[in-house]
Amino acid sequence: MKLPRGRLDKSRVVTDPRDTLADVLDRELTGYAVFESQETLLLDGEGRGVITFTDGVPVLAYHTGTDRGGPPALADLAIPGPYHVSLYALDPADLESAHDAADLRVPPGMPAERLGGDPALADSTRRAAPDERLSPTGSDDVATTEDGATERSAVEAFLDDTEKIEAIKDQARSEARERAQQWEF
């Protein structure tokens, strides 16, 4: 995904992406957020998550490390924080060409549910979204492309990503070994 460089609006470390999503919605930001997880910052992990917004409502998601967009990109970003988050403001016209990429689209409430675990924020986001962005059922479980095809949810995409699951298991085993050594087991 190619985005023009926006005007840096805010840059900080957050423990919960929900805080950023709520802030963007409250301020009705048009632009994008770049999320860098602690894994990327501390462990030389690859990639950043990018979410674009129009008037505070998420439109696109993309993960630079996996080169996946839409709900699968949210699954790639859904790892424990903290995150370094940078918010960039853009004119709506600067996002028009990027927002034409149907394969990168996410339903309005999905980032709040998948990253923030906050159904109330997801509902607020859906209420702020234009009617044409909402599914007929009001659910964000399945995204639809412009041609009406359905996409898998972020959870389904995550569960099908065996490489990512194995990496999480390996990291958990390593941490368990370290703790066992510290506790002299």
Same domain, 103 and 46: yes
How many CB atoms are located within 10 Å of the residue 161 CB? 17
Q: Is residue 2 part of a domain?
A: no
Share of the chain above pLDDT 70, in %: 82
The domain total for the chain is: 2
The Cα 81–Cα 79 span in angstroms is 6
Same domain, 129 and 157: no
Q: Which domain holds residue 115?
A: 7-133
Structure tokens belonging to residue 25: 């919605």
How many CB atoms are located within 10 Å of the residue 121 CB? 19
Q: Is residue 167 part of a domain?
A: yes
Q: Is residue 140 part of a domain?
A: no
Whether residue 139 contacts residue 57, with contact meaning beta carbons closer than 8 Å, is answered with no
- Output 125 or 163, whichever has higher pLDDT: 125
Q: Is residue 1 part of a domain?
A: no
Q: What is the DSSP letter of 106?
A: -
Q: Is residue 73 part of a domain?
A: yes
Same domain, 18 and 70: yes
Same domain, 45 and 75: yes
Q: Is residue 139 part of a domain?
A: no
pLDDT for 35 equals 92
pLDDT for 62 equals 93
Same domain, 61 and 19: yes
Query: Cα torsion at 129, 131, 133, 136 (round to 10°)?
Result: 120
Same domain, 22 and 112: yes
Q: Is residue 75 part of a domain?
A: yes
Under the banding of pLDDT at 50, 70 and 90, the label for residue 149 is very low
Under the banding of pLDDT at 50, 70 and 90, the label for residue 147 is very low
pTM metric for this prediction: 0.71
Asked if pLDDT for residue 48 goes beyond 80, the answer is: yes
Whether residue 142 contacts residue 110, with contact meaning beta carbons closer than 8 Å, is answered with no
- The helix (H) or strand (E) run that includes residue 37 is strand 31-37
Phi, psi for residue 117 in degrees, rounded to 5: 60, 35
pLDDT for 150 equals 44
Structure tokens belonging to residue 118: 């906050």
Average pLDDT over residues 22-35: 94
Same domain, 126 and 153: no
Same domain, 36 and 115: yes
